[in-house]
A and B are shown apart, each in its own frame.
Chain A
């Protein structure tokens, strides 16, 4: 089992002050019950300023952590100190079975490790076998619960269909009035229909509508009207596809339902027979951290499968954390490599995935990445191909080679280095960080294209690796 490294701890620390504070706790006298299950989990209790000690648990495999302290820094000094002691190997961790509070945490979090699997594989005692035996299930109670679930599902389907009718009426109203000036009143009108869609239990569509005004207003003025047409058109396409689910193939149907707001539980996906599982060496090629209108921060980790000859090459791990928690970064850093098995959510173009099993946890890797032999034109063609299959794609991962960044007035563009045909406008918020790439003749890299702006996540250049973080 690979242990967490000091470099990794440095990378995940939110600032220098956290490391300095953690350093003071890197001594056994501050801790009690330092233990490890020898399968990637470490935990202990640290006496803080509160009356009861803080319970701290961390995963060595993906540097996940949890501490009961009220700190607004993530990770807090206690989590860092626990990992630090493990990394230095100067303090001994007692081998033990994980206590209930650790198991609860493992159950709640996204599976980034094979902890649960290994725990199941451990032999149990007779006493445990006796107490852990399956509970008696009353068939009548079970049947009542199933009926209730079914009724609830039917009611939701009905509510969604009614919501889609509302959406259509709203779209007609907007179109009848003309979309040239839509950007001017998008905020208010999108909010009202988004609320109705939340009531209709279609949160996916509501979220799209909530994000629409800021998306339109982030673009240059001359593009806003046509982008409104595109985006509102997609909403109708989704509504229409939802009404005609029976005529869609299973993958596309799952895609439509997810876009509308149905979700699949993590456990359900991990236990699903026939779910697409891909094992390999994955490199982190992009990290996106964005605040959503629902006051959640969306943390995207984009992964690239090295040496893959068959699709899919790309996967995205999604995490959502409350803004109030203060956490702005996930456990991964661009450039890291890990050996893992990923299970994909059902999609017409598989992208979103979960880590099912990790054989070698994420670690810093300086080796260059063989991304693509295609230039930007090839990447655009791939995007259009995906658009043909899934017309409501919002964000599409693109790898490219032999491109260069160029400037026209205030805007930066990602262009083909060899031909002048393709020029993708770069995200305006990246203008400062991308500017040094203007000096590079050729770059290879990875980014995200939403049809209007390209978010450059990662680039390989003669001067080394450029990352957007």
Chain B
């Protein structure tokens, strides 16, 4: 019997069961029935082993994106694995930001092993990483893979939301009309999250020319979109009465006069009785979300500087002003506010929603300088506030601020060996926030700590040094 005969005649018998057959074909394979069955089994099995596995008639065409970025140096690959093993989110973010800044990308072979990291920071790690994250996404839901600086009016709808919002803000800065036309064109296909993000970019270069478009979307299905539209329209017309949010805020602000020799205006924000202390920051954020400093000052019949001075004794109102100044990029005003309310950034960090206040590196630096005053205040329950700061900064703090933090009494107390010492998390976030020129200082300060505690932060500094030394 040949191998083909075994496969065509004997195999079907074995599969269906030899009991049902009279054994005509088996008889040739053995003297008795049992022997014949066993021989049939081993011979057919062996014949099958020489049959090559079926080859698919066609294969998928793989179109991996072209990634112009350099791969991270070979020597850093194992260190990156070790760093990302059980590190904090701040450490992972700092690494992703450094890789993005140096225009590097992870080694393609490391993508499966760093899946979680790649998933979270794909848009910072190059087009290959973006492709990797979307490899199992159905074609109709997947986006394109672009470097943020490769976006243009033709492909901008293909990228992720963060890059698109960034692109639109840059475009609005240069040519507000072009930006508006792009949004108008894609508006119908955008989901609510995209509509909110894209519409927020209209604050840049807002003018009367945007009015027809904004009026056309006043009845959007998403309440968040409607609220932004209303705010923008109010800002265009400049009329307080057009903005019900200002009126709602004014109902909560009490005006009075203080001082003995010279009477000064004083403003006080009355929180509703139903708002508990821990809910105050959140309530203020929502209440003042659609109000600008200018409109509020006009409603209070005073200048913006007078408004800040009048709110000087009321921390809640100052906090509201700090939020507004941040949103409007009024850094000089923010500086004055944070002089009166040094823990404004600590309160901002406690807000549950992660609003990206700013996305331009220069503006972030100005914002940090205006807001963070380590000599006046450092957070008492530090880690979440520091972590929030790193999220906002998307990189290290300005050297001046960091130097003040490292020289502060609070930080020195944290490092005190007699006490509990800084946590793993705080060490990592401080290392992530540390600018290059101060890494030596941080290392010196961390030196006496146990290896277990400082290990990850130390490793992050080493890797950042190596990445930044690449040309």
A residues near B, CB below 8 A?
10, 15-17, 20-21, 23-24, 168, 171-172, 175-180, 225-226, 229-234, 236-237, 240, 380, 384, 387, 391, 406-409, 413, 415, 420-425, 432-433, 435-439, 451-452, 463-464, 466
With a cutoff of 8 Å between Cβ atoms, the chain B residues found around residue A435 in the complex are 111-112, 135
Q: Which of A20, A176, A177, A230 is B48 in contact with, Cβ under 8 Å? A: A230
In the complex, the answer to whether A408 meets B56 with C-beta atoms within 8 Å is yes
CB distance from A393 to the nearest CB of B (A): 9
Q: Which of A10, A384, A466 contacts B109 (CB 8 A)?
A: A466
Interface residues of B in 20-65 (CB under 8 A from A): 20, 34, 37-38, 40-46, 48-50, 52-53, 55-56, 58-60, 62, 64
B263, chain A: closest CB distance, angstroms: 64
Find out whether the CB atom of B64 lies under 8 angstroms from the CB atom of A438: yes
Contact assessment for A234 and B38 in the assembled complex, using a CB-CB cutoff below 8 Å: no
For residue B115, which residues in chain A have a CB less than 8 angstroms away from its CB?
A: 432
Q: Which residues in B have their C-beta under 8 angstroms from that of A438?
A: 62, 64
Tell me whether B49 and A406 are in contact (CB under 8 A).
no
Given contacts A20-B455, A233-B42, A236-B42, contact A422 B15 (CB under 8 A): no
Q: Does B419 contact A (CB under 8 A)?
A: no
In contact, B452 and A423 (Cβ under 8 angstroms)? no
Residues of A near B41 (CB, < 8 A) are: 171, 175, 229, 232-233, 236
Q: Are A176 and B19 in contact (CB under 8 A)?
A: yes
Known: A168-B34, A408-B60, A466-B109. 18 other contacts (CB 8 A): A17-B86, A24-B450, A24-B452, A175-B17, A177-B19, A179-B14, A179-B15, A179-B17, A226-B48, A229-B14, A234-B42, A409-B60, A413-B56, A415-B55, A425-B53, A432-B112, A435-B112, A464-B74
Question: A407's contact among B17, B18, B60, by CB below 8 Å, is which?
Answer: B60
Alpha-carbon separation in the docked complex, A177 to B112 (Å): 44
CB<8 Å pairs between A and B, sample of 5: A176-B18, A180-B15, A180-B17, A231-B45, A408-B60
B74 and A420 within 8 A (CB)? no
B108: interface (CB < 8 Å): yes
Contact assessment for A436 and B46 in the assembled complex, using a CB-CB cutoff below 8 Å: no
Residues on A with C-beta less than 8 A from B48 are 226, 229-230, 233
Interface size on B, residues (CB 8 A): 50
Given contacts A176-B18, A408-B60, contact A233 B43 (CB under 8 A): yes
State in angstroms the CA–CA spacing of A10 and B115 once bound together. 22
Asked if residues A433 and B112 are in contact (CB atoms below 8 Å), the reply is yes
Q: How far is the CA of A451 from the CA of B50 in the complex (A)?
A: 9
Which B residues lie at the A interface, using CB under 8 A?
A: 11, 14-20, 34, 37-38, 40-46, 48-50, 52-53, 55-56, 58-60, 62, 64, 71, 74, 78, 82, 85-86, 107-109, 111-113, 115, 132, 135, 450-452, 455-456
Q: What residue in chain A is nearest B77 (Cβ atoms)?
A: A464
A23 to B108, CA, bound (A): 32
Given A10-B78, A236-B42, is A421 in contact with B111 using a C-beta cutoff of 8 Å?
Answer: no
- Taking CB atoms, residues of chain A closer than 8 Å to B60 are 406-409
Known: A16-B85, A20-B455, A171-B38. A422 touches B55 (CB 8 A): yes
Which residues from chain B contact A436 at a C-beta distance below 8 Å? 108-109, 111-112, 132
Pairwise interchain contact B451-A20, C-beta atoms closer than 8 A: yes
* B86 CB contacts on chain A under 8 angstroms: 15-17
Is B45 touching A233 in the complex (CB atoms < 8 A)? yes
Q: Which of chain A's residues have a CB closer than 8 A to the CB of B109?
A: 436-437, 463-464, 466
